[in-house]
Amino acid sequence: SNSYWILCETYLIQAKLSLLTFNIEKAQRFLTQAHQIADRFDLTQLKVNITNEKEELFKKLAIWEELKEMNASMADRMELARLDEKIIKVIQNRLVQVSEEKIAVSKEKKICLVCRGEVLRFSYICECGAIYCESCARAVTDLENVCWACDVPIDYSKPTKQIEEEREELHKSKNNLKK
């Protein structure tokens, strides 16, 4: 479980790094991956932290959009992302010894693209070969309904949610509120 904890923390840091370059879609994907891994491997406290990060990102979407429009300084972006806090917490919380045995992965295993866990029962396999476990396929479908590897819709009966479109809608509604 140590390696999954590290993987979740890594995705949290990658989400914050994505915000620094205003790539909100990537940040949301990293948070979804971290959440799915924490859920699958019963990392309860980490799951709570990830949920809080997701909620915080949603609350601050308008602020991120404003910073992007203003071409804000990296210092301002780092302050809003709280990247330094996250890195310090990771370093303070864990120093882990990783053995070769822990990182050996069998080639025969089907590994989920999102949570990196072994897919045992139901799975969704995209035409590009990407494999999703049931839980992650549902989470990705709810988030944007496209394969993360090739952008093909996962569930053709549902619309695809392009995060860019949602951002534009948020921007329009923000402008309407100003009027």
The predicted pLDDT at position 108 comes to: 60
Instruction: Show the tokens assigned to 70.
Output: 């203003």
| Entry pTM | 0.63
Helix axes 44-59, 24-40, angle to 10 degrees: 160
Give the mean model confidence (pLDDT) for residues 105-111: 60
List 118's β-bridge partners, or say none: 111
Share of the chain above pLDDT 90, in %: 17
- Residue 105: pLDDT over 50: no
